Amino acid sequence: MSSKIDPRAVVSAGAEIGSNVEIGPFAVIESGVRLHDDCKVGPHAFLTGDSDIGRGTVIHTGAIIGDEPQDLHYNGEQSRTLIGENCTIREYVTIHRGTEEGSCTRVGNNVMLMAFSHLGHNCQIGDNVVIANATLLAGRVEVQRNAFISAGCMAHQFVRVGRLAMVGGGNGVGQDVPPFCTLQDKCIQGINAIGLRRAGFSDEAKDAIKEAVHIYFFEGLNRINALEKIRAELPQLPEIVEFCDFIEETKRGITQARSNRK
């Protein structure tokens, strides 16, 4: 099926356009961009650089994808932006390409980026992630699959948000948020119970995760002792191994829990 390109759009001869692609008025698609089949690009969107947009992704009005990184070290290196399949990129989202030669900013499949959100250079976003309105991720932030970041959040460079974690609205995230946890008021509150239920976790897994989170955050143990206790006392389900490994791999530290929780 042929593509539908508004005559007022500007599409470079060096862009690669798949079949059944729709491009709205005043959109700009520069050389080096690849739009796979069934993509839609709204009015006034700007796609530039070495940007690969996966099949079925919808890009709304005014979004900017693949522009140069906001990094003082950047000096024109050839870097990339990779967007997966069936993503939704809403109005005025900005996604910057990587900084170093050959590096990339990567967005997985089935990701929703709501209006005015920003992904800095070299961010790595897993499948099925939701990032809500006006949330800003600095360079090299990693958000693992099925995580949810609510509106108006800001994440520091190099922060990681673990799988199926939930970050409440308006939070600043300066340290890593482990998998399966909920962050609110800049502190870990407990497990993401709703997310685990919706993901179909077994009762055994949910109970083990809840206990692991309690041991690590709410028993007053240091990191080494807490991880030793989790490994000694809990069934070593894949989710528990994932939780412990994530904590051990941290470079920025782990977000703390509320100190007044009983």
| DSSP three-state, residue 123 | coil
In a shared domain, residues 212 and 136: no
Give the residue from 105, 140, 175 where a domain finishes.
Answer: 140
CA atoms within 13 A on the CB side of 209: 25
Where residue 207 sits, what CATH number does that domain have? 1.20.1180.10
Q: For the chain, where are the alpha helices, taking DSSP H only?
A: 193-198, 203-218, 223-233, 238-248
Where residue 32 sits, what CATH number does that domain have? 2.160.10.10
Residue 54 within a domain = yes
- Answer whether 107's CB lies under 8 Å from 78's CB: no
Say what the pTM is.
Answer: 0.95
How far apart are the C-alpha atoms of 111 and 125, rounded to whole Å? 8
At 2, is the pLDDT very low, low, confident or very high (cuts 50, 70, 90)?
A: confident
Which among 213, 210, 211, 204 is positioned nearest to 237, based on CA atoms? 204
Residue 103 within a domain = yes
In a shared domain, residues 13 and 93: yes
83, pLDDT greater than 80: yes
Number of domains in the chain: 2
Task: Kindly state the average pLDDT of the residues 144-148.
Answer: 99
In a shared domain, residues 224 and 102: no
Q: Are strands 112-113 and 88-89 parallel, antiparallel or unpaired?
A: parallel
Task: Kindly state the average pLDDT of the residues 214-219.
Answer: 97
In a shared domain, residues 133 and 238: no
Q: What local confidence, expressed as pLDDT, does residue 1 receive?
A: 66
Give the residue from 140, 156, 181 where a domain finishes.
Answer: 140
Query: What domain range includes position 222?
Result: 196-248
Is the dihedral angle over the CA atoms 184, 188, 193, 196 positive or is it negative? positive
Q: What local confidence, expressed as pLDDT, does residue 262 receive?
A: 46
